[in-house]
Amino acid sequence: MELSTSPSIWAYGSVWLFFSLLVYFKFSHSDMVLTPALLVYFFLLVLFEWFCHLYLPILLGMVLLSSACFYVLSITSPRKLLPVAGKAVLITGCDSGFGKAAAQRLDELGFKVIATVLDLESPGGKDLRKNCSDRLTIIQMDLTKPEDIKRAQQITKEKTRENGLWALVNNAGYCAHFGDAELSLMSTYRGCMEVNFFGTLEITKALLPMLRSSKGRIVTVSSPAGEHSFPFLAAYGSSKAALSRVMDTFRHELMPWGVKVSVIQPGSYKTGAHDDKSHWERQHKKLLSNLPNELLQEYGEEYISETQNLFFEYGKTACTDFSPVIDSITDAILSENPKVKYYAGKQLWLLYFIGIYLPSSISDNFFKSLFLKGKIMPRALRKQKNTE
């Protein structure tokens, strides 16, 4: 018995010794602080080592324990931030929401901010001019217009001639309809793709030579709707899925150039036209006037109207504190080693855990409880039910 356990003790002891030396090194360089979370992680490592010692071959156990130790070190160490001085960043979609808040935060930190807005005279644009420093430049840009993107590219070159462009924050986004995929107009699908995918891709490609030169950053605000099939968000979710995929491709391809690419996945926040009831009423009227009559009869106007009302009710629970998203954007721009993905929002981890790891029977019911709360069935289904 002693012969069989002795090699195991020495093997795991060597892992613990190396881990202890790394912890001591980080403490001595003020790169780590003792927190309750660190103590909890240490206790979990002890339990994991006990499991490996009892049930796994020595070599496999050493590899897994070493990996767990390095993971704990990575998540408990404060992230090293780069200096702000001389750095310029372009942010799209700064009329309101995340873009406006990010422009204000980065301006306060000392960045040279180039903020794009759809309307120079929008309340958000006026507020940025009033409250930010003279380092901030506001540009009118519509991502669906190549001439606007080209003009923004030229202005950015001029404004960053001295130190170059450090970061691009792709924030601008568009959601035109909340409803069944079959009822969503093709113009809605194309509209979401034009802004969220093609427009964002075009501005990224336009600024990439500058970002490659500075070995800078690309930070893109995507959406969990691009990773999970949320009911009623087919057009928006599809465009965000395409956006996340192309950004991940850029991440791989730009590694040799020193450009780091991150994607922000926010939770539910009140942004953009979320509270603009007149905007959604116009979209609703446009939908009803363009639906084929047969389809309108199958679903019924009362069902379509209830779906829109559910969207407003769901929006009332959305968060108004943008700080988790803005903190993530800031970290992605300044961290020496930014994360590939940032999940910004309360309980967002639960959504991903249920959507990815649990059986579809459970995850489907979970998403149904979030979105499919309507009491009115489509008209054709009601008729079928009544005849049964």
- Domain spans, the chain: 2-76, 88-371
Which three-class secondary structure state does DSSP give residue 217?
strand
Is residue 334 within 8 A of residue 216, CB to CB? The reply is no
- Taking only the tens place, the pLDDT of each residue in 336-368 is 989 899 988 877 777 777 777 778 888 888 877
H-helix or E-strand containing 280? Answer: helix 277-290
H-helix or E-strand containing 343? Answer: strand 341-344
236 carries an active-site annotation: yes
CA 317 to chain centre: 19
Which three-class secondary structure state does DSSP give residue 140?
strand
Is residue 75 within 8 A of residue 325, CB to CB? The reply is no
Query: Which residues of 8-136 form beta strands (DSSP E)?
Result: 88-91, 112-117
Which three-class secondary structure state does DSSP give residue 155?
helix
CA atoms of 201 and 213, how far apart (whole Å): 19
H-helix or E-strand containing 287? Answer: helix 277-290
Look-up: residue for tokens 């855990």? 353
Which three-class secondary structure state does DSSP give residue 32?
coil
Is residue 341 within 8 A of residue 261, CB to CB? The reply is no
Q: Which residues of the chain have pLDDT under 50?
A: 1-5, 30-32
- Taking only the tens place, the pLDDT of each residue in 307-322 is 877 777 766 677 888 9
Between 200-214 and 234-254, two packed helices, what is the crossing angle to 10 degrees?
A: 20
For residue 136, give the DSSP letter: -
CA atoms of 318 and 67, how far apart (whole Å): 38
Q: Which of 236, 269, 299, 303 is catalytic?
A: 236
Strand pairing partners for 260?
217
Is residue 319 within 8 A of residue 268, CB to CB? The reply is yes
Strand pairing partners for 168?
90, 218
- Fold (CATH) for 88-371: Rossmann fold (3.40.50)
pLDDT at residue 7 in the model: 75
H-helix or E-strand containing 169? Answer: strand 167-170
Is residue 223 within 8 A of residue 267, CB to CB? The reply is no
**Which are the contacts of 32, defined by CB distance < 8 A and separation ≥ 6?**
23, 26, 38, 76, 77, 78
Count of residues in the chain: 388
pTM over 0.85: no
